[in-house]
Amino acid sequence: MSGDVGLFGPDSVTWKLHREPILMLGGLRSLYLQALHPRAVAGVAQNSGYRNDPWGRLTRTSNYVGTVIFGSTDEVRRAADRLRRLHAGMTATDPRTGEQFRIDEPDLLRWVHVAEVESFLTTAVRAGVRLTPDEVDGYYTEQLRSAELVGLDPATVPSTAAEVEAYFAAIRPELGLTRDGAEAALFLTVPPVPEHWGSLPLRLGLTLGPARWAYLGVVSTAIGLLPPWARKIYGGLGWPTTDLAAGLSVRGLRALITGVLAALPEQYQMAPLHRAALERAGLA
């Protein structure tokens, strides 16, 4: 064993949070939140093949996040290098002004980063993961390392809960629901079932059957966990009752996932990247 635990390690708040499978829901919430930035979502729409390969893109994104959190130093470096090279060659056109821009502009990278880490943290806490105020700030501070990987100056990135709240307050006038944002949100809510997923009856079952309704329940929880101001941009309600219902739902989902994983064979109870990190740390 090399003992190389990458950017964070077993004593970090980051590992404490990201060992929770419910953070998959946090990833979904972050996509709804990120889609409210007109330039950020235009960059995705004009450069990404998410419509043609949604599950592949989701898998690649999840693998990148998992590598940054649990990968070795070399694995993290290689993943970040690939991502920066990919972004460096991409531009997009602002649909409102016609201005061309690079998708690795610091303002856009900062928005994506903050929306992602705030979504992970909020989802975990609302699901019942107990964190002290110092641990909450500690998570944001630790995640400056992730921000630096994509090319951001850590000094320009919010590093405490108060700074994140102030950042959202400052950027809200720039946010809104564009056509790209609405299409992305609809795509997240009603994703297509790939044609290679078995026979036509199976695909129809996944499209119209219980699996689809279960997924819609997950989606409604992710949307309900959004800040009230974000739900209002989507045309929803910012009522406290919505927050209460989403909180109860996410706690129930966490309990359900925990129960299902506990019933599985041991090798399936933990993400491979997490298990590999524990082995390197001598904690498997």
Q: What is the pTM of this model?
A: 0.90
pLDDT of residue 50: 66
On the question of pLDDT at 199 being above 80, the answer is: no
CA quadruple 44, 47, 51, 52: dihedral sign: negative
> Per mean pLDDT, which range of 112-121, 200-209, 214-223, 259-268 is the poorest?
200-209
| Among 146, 162, 161, 164, residue whose Cα is nearest residue 14 | 146
> Per mean pLDDT, which range of 68-72, 163-167, 214-218, 247-251 is the poorest?
214-218
Inter-residue contact 27 to 221 (CB < 8 Å): no
Residue located via tokens 């739902």: 249
Calpha distance 123→30 (Å, rounded):
10
CA quadruple 173, 118, 99, 180: dihedral sign: negative
pLDDT of residue 177: 96
pLDDT digits (tens, 9 = 90+) for 2-38: 589 999 999 999 999 999 999 999 999 999 999 999 9
On the question of pLDDT at 267 being above 60, the answer is: yes
Give the 3-state secondary structure percentages of the chain, helix then strand then coil, rounded to 5. 70, 0, 30
Percent over 70 (pLDDT), the chain = 88
Calpha distance 143→114 (Å, rounded):
9
Higher pLDDT, 281 or 209: 281
